[in-house]
Each structure stands twice: as structure tokens, then as C-alpha cells.
Amino acid sequence: MLKIENLSYLVNNDGKDILKNINLDFLEGKIYVITGPNGSGKSTLVKLIMGILTPSAGKISFKGKDITNLKINERAKLGIAYAFQQPVTFKGLKVKDLLNIASNKENDFNSLCEYLSSVGLCAKDYINRPLDDKLSGGELKRIELAMVLTRNACVNIFDEPEAGIDLWSFENLINMFKKLSSTTIIVSHQTKILEIADSVILLKNGAVEKIGKYSEIKPYIQIETCGKLRGENE
Ligand SMILES: Nc1ncnc2c1ncn2[C@@H]1O[C@H](COP(=O)(O)OP(=O)(O)OP(=O)(O)O)[C@@H](O)[C@H]1O
Ligand SMILES: [Mg+2]
């Protein structure tokens, strides 16, 4: 479905290798969780997949087609959707406008309600809310998740979807991921999210350290390198 070959990302000014020679194969319908210490390159990797950043070397292909040089909107049209670690606000737009733009159609109240309730928001309270800084961090994050859901994409990418989502029961978030039929790529430090992965990708210092089921990877997610996993013994 999505293949990454020898992908590298260097920062020009100091020659730092943020990602080095990454090779990954994301299969259709599977859930992948990318984890690793802060600064290991997780967000950089998913931004390269979405086309937000341009790689210094390497190739990204989607359904057999080379997409390395495609722009974000071209990748979005092919069926790749992305939720930012830090959601962005859009001045002048309401929640319903954002969801309609994202899904490229005029959704009726019931569909909007379905998308919003699957991220724990009640549609009647939110569809007419402006997308501004009056929304809390957690609300914005959920709206962004709903926006990704409306896209119905083949590949869904979520960068730390749990960040800021405290009140919404964690089970709902997990169920939402499980229900997706897409290839799902989630950047996360959360044990419960790591547990639902078909494959966990452990990044360290810009390179893939290990890939496997969470049970196999767990011993390598060391406290000294990754910090304490969230959700463990809490
Ligand atoms: N344009 C840039 N110039 C210099 N350094 C950069 C640049 N972009 C990213 N970095 C550095 O690259 C490293 C990887 O960043 P990235 O955001 O991918 O980490 P991450 O694994 O997502 O971390 P976190 O868990 O904190 O979200 C960090 O050390 C970051 O400071
Ligand atoms: Mg990050």
C-alpha cells in the first residue's frame, strides 16, 4: 500500500541527520504505531509521508506509484489523510465548514453528528462553533480527528492523537482506530495504542531500531531511552 525506501531527511544548516535510511512497508488495512523517544524523528517521518516535508534522499510509493515529488494536496487526493500533533486553527471557518471541506461534500446534520460523536463531541454544541483559539486543546484535537474521519482515506496518519484528550474515555479513541478499515499510522507513546498495533515501529536517533508486535518490542522500549510509557501502571 505504502512503501518507504532509503528515506533520509537532513537539515542543511548543521548537516544533522534527522532521519537516516528508513525502509518501511505499510500493508493495506493494518495498524502501525510509531514510537520512540522525543526527538527521534517520528513527526518528521509522518510529515515526509504526507508531503509536508521533502526528503533529502529516498523514495515513497503509494499503491505502486512514486509519490516522492507530489505535493500535500496531490497526496491527499490519492487518499492519504493526516492529523497534526499540534492542530491548526482556521480563522473564519466553523467546525461544520471544516468537516465539509475535508470530506469534499455538504454533510447533513446526521453525518456530522456521526463524525463528531465518534470523537466524543456532541454535534449540536460544536457544528457552528468558529475554529478559533476559544476551542480548548482537546476540543481542537478531536475536531481534527473528526476531520480525518470525514476524508474516508486509504491511509490515515495520526500524530499523537491522544495528546490533550483527557476527559474523553480512552476506550473510545481505541475503538475509533479499530473500526477504521484504512491503513492506519499512529505516532504514540501510549501503551493502549501500542497494544492494538499490528506492528510497532520503534525509532531511535532517526533510525528504525525495531519492528514487531508490541509484546516483542516492549523490552526495547527502555525507560532510559523513551521515558516511562504513558498508561503504564497509572
Ligand atoms: N528544521 C529543523 N531544523 C533543525 N532540527 C530539526 C528540524 N526539524 C526537526 N528537527 C529536529 O529533529 C528531531 C526530530 O524531530 P521530530 O519532531 O520528528 O521528533 P519526534 O520524534 O516527533 O519528537 P516528539 O516525541 O517530541 O514529538 C528533533 O531533535 C528536532 O529538534
Ligand atoms: Mg512529534
With cut-offs at 50, 70 and 90, classify the pLDDT of residue 133.
Answer: confident
The closest residue, in CA terms, to atom 17 on ligand 1 is: 43
Residues touching ligand 1 (Cβ under 6 Å) are 11, 18, 36, 38-44, 85
Q: Whose CA is nearest to atom 13 of ligand 1?
A: 39
Grid cell for residue 183: 491503513
* Closest ligand relative to 52 C-alpha: 1
Tell me, what's the pLDDT at 183?
97
The span from the CA of 85 to the CA of 79, in Å, is: 20
What pLDDT is attached to residue 168?
60
How many angstroms separate the alpha carbon of residue 116 from the centre of ligand 2? 25
% of the chain exceeding 90 in pLDDT = 66
Going by their DSSP bridges, the two strands 183-187 and 155-159 should be labelled as parallel
CA of 128 to the centre of ligand 2 (A): 30
**Alpha-carbon Rg of the chain, whole angstroms?**
18
Give the pLDDT confidence score for residue 229 in this predicted structure.
Answer: 58
Q: What is the pLDDT of residues 147-164, one digit of tens each?
A: 999 999 999 999 998 877
Q: Which of 81-95, 122-136, 218-232 has the lowest mean pLDDT?
A: 218-232
pLDDT tens digits, residue range 53-65? Answer: 999 999 999 999 9
Q: Which domains does the chain have, with CATH numbers?
A: 2-226 (3.40.50.300)
Rounded to 5 degrees, φ, ψ at 78 are: -75, -15
- Interstrand relation of 57-62 and 155-159 (parallel, antiparallel or unpaired): unpaired
Atom of ligand 1 nearest to the CA of 45: 18
- The phi and psi torsions of 125 (rounded to 5 degrees) equal -85, -15
Query: What's the pLDDT at 14?
Result: 66
Lowest mean pLDDT among 9-13, 62-66, 75-79: 9-13
Q: Grid coordinates standing for 229? A: 510509557
Ligand with minimal distance to 42 CA: 1
Distance 111 CA to ligand 2 centre (A): 31
Taking the C-alpha atoms of residue 206 and residue 21, their distance in angstroms, rounded to an integer, is 9
